[in-house]
Amino acid sequence: MGTVKGDIKLFDSLGKIAKTNLPAMGSAIKGIDVTSDGKWLIATTDKYLLLINTEIKSDPECRTGFEKSFAKTEKPKAKRLQLRPEHLTLMEHDVNFTPARFNTGEHAMERTIITSTGPFVITWNFRRVKQGKLYDYQIKRYSDNIVADNFRFGQDKSIIVTLPHDVTLTKKTHLSTPTKSVLSPSKRPTTRSSNNIVKSFGD
């Protein structure tokens, strides 16, 4: 659970006191997603994402903060994911991230983190972020502001993007490294029609 004060609380079940209380790390938390093994969580604020490893390193049973409280001396440190200042200048956009998510699915391994802001959908490589490459993201601009985004269930190769008047499916490979041509407001790529998305889901 995330709070408007920026605190994050980890519970092992409903109706009980939180096992872990992580102190406020900045802005209000507007969304949280967790890997299937409970070892990582991604929290969303308006301007940045917080990736947190919930494993308790000193615990011989390899439990997480959902199962046991962290010692005061080993509270986890968050990795902050945000956009580069030079990219924000090119985007001419005030960032307001939608709740970030991991790709998910039965027996699927989390490989990618996805979010969006305004007309931009953005992904981070989960493995590379864990290695400390926090600015290694890819991006795609749409012709309208994005309402919601998520991966197609069971894999991370296809992304479902909801626009105000359309729903479209795009491949992750269609996102690219941020450049002036990709980020510029003057470049407005067209999106696929709703009819095509229905056909794609049937394939």
Residue 72 has pLDDT above 50, yes or no: yes
- Range with the lowest mean pLDDT among 125-134, 178-187, 189-198? 189-198
Residue 150: φ, ψ to 5°: -170, 165
| Domain ranges in the chain with CATH number 2.40.10 | 1-81
What are φ and ψ of residue 183, in 5° steps? -90, -20
Q: What percent helix, strand, coil does the chain show, rounded to 5?
A: 15, 30, 55
Q: What is the per-residue pLDDT across 84-115, written as a single tens digit (0 to 9) for each?
A: 999 999 988 889 999 999 987 766 788 899 99
CA 184 and chain centroid, separation: 23
Q: What percent of the chain has pLDDT over 70?
A: 89
In CATH, what class is 1-81? mainly beta
**Residue appearing with tokens 């992750």:** 172
Model pTM score: 0.81
